[in-house]
Amino acid sequence: MLRIGICDDNREDIARIRELAVRFSEEHPETPVQIQAYGQPYDLLDEVEKSGGFDLYLLDVVMPHMTGVALARRLRERKERAEILFLTNASGAVNYDFHVGDFMMITDQVSNFVPSPLIGPNIEELGERFCDMSQIYNHDLCRILRETAEELGVHLQEGTYIQLTGPNYETPKEVKMCRILGADAVGMSTACEAVAANHMGMKICGISCISNMGCGMSEQPLSHEEVKETADRVAPLFKKLITASITRMGRM
């Protein structure tokens, strides 16, 4: 039995995941799949505490304070032995050289505007109190992403990602602030997860899909429909890049 816990308030996302699970069960009848969806992260965490967790967690939320590390600890306790965290997101361009539909490999990040997932008592078995942050995004994994993109003929931008709290889009002045701070793309997730994973010694890489230009960089108002439209348009190419990259990472 493969138990999957999902925390996502988007019913379409959950439906797609269930469809993939059904397909997996048909191809692997010896491994039945059980999916439990939750609307709030704390509901999922309550179930984790009661039952000992799931085999796989799928979360579309930013986990505040120690919640992200609590999940990481549960995964470690269940000996999932995940060594690599591959982060993906949809983000807004801050860099004027970027275009809607571009992919950006994350080489560094700014996370000062959101609570650190390491706030609170340190979990010593995961990592030291003050973890080094000089290489959050692993150079070897970035090299694989770069080489894979080149082989596939995929234009891959590189840059710094900044996470703000959301759930609103940024104002023009906030986008300008992000640019002054050295960011190339802005979003509402990813950096927190990278901090938690870096603390526990995982190798991390990440790719952002540039779904829109930052507020004030064009005359067009921002909308979630634009983000979804861009994501759907570039999805086949994105899937190709991710699949080929993960295959190469498996040979490391």
Q: Which residue carries 């348009």 as its tokens?
A: 233
Strands 56-59 and 103-110: unpaired
Cα-flanking dihedrals φ and ψ of residue 89, to 5°?
-160, 170
Query: Taking a C-beta distance cutoff of 8 angstroms, is the pair 52, 45 a contact?
Result: no
Name the catalytic one among 26, 170, 193, 219: 170
Nearest to 164 by CA among 173, 155, 156: 173
Task: Tell me how far apart the alpha carbons of residues 74 and 127 are, in angstroms, rounded to a whole number.
Answer: 14
Written as six digits, the tokens of 79 are 């000996």
Task: Tell me how far apart the alpha carbons of residues 221 and 168 are, in angstroms, rounded to a whole number.
Answer: 13
170 catalytically annotated: yes
- Cα Rg, the chain, nearest whole Å: 18
36: CB partners within 8 A, 6+ apart: 3, 4, 5, 6, 47, 54
Query: Taking a C-beta distance cutoff of 8 angstroms, is the pair 63, 163 a contact?
Result: no
Number of other residues whose CB lies within 10 A of the CB of residue 223: 11
Cα-flanking dihedrals φ and ψ of residue 236, to 5°?
-60, -40
Q: Give me the active site residues, please.
A: 170
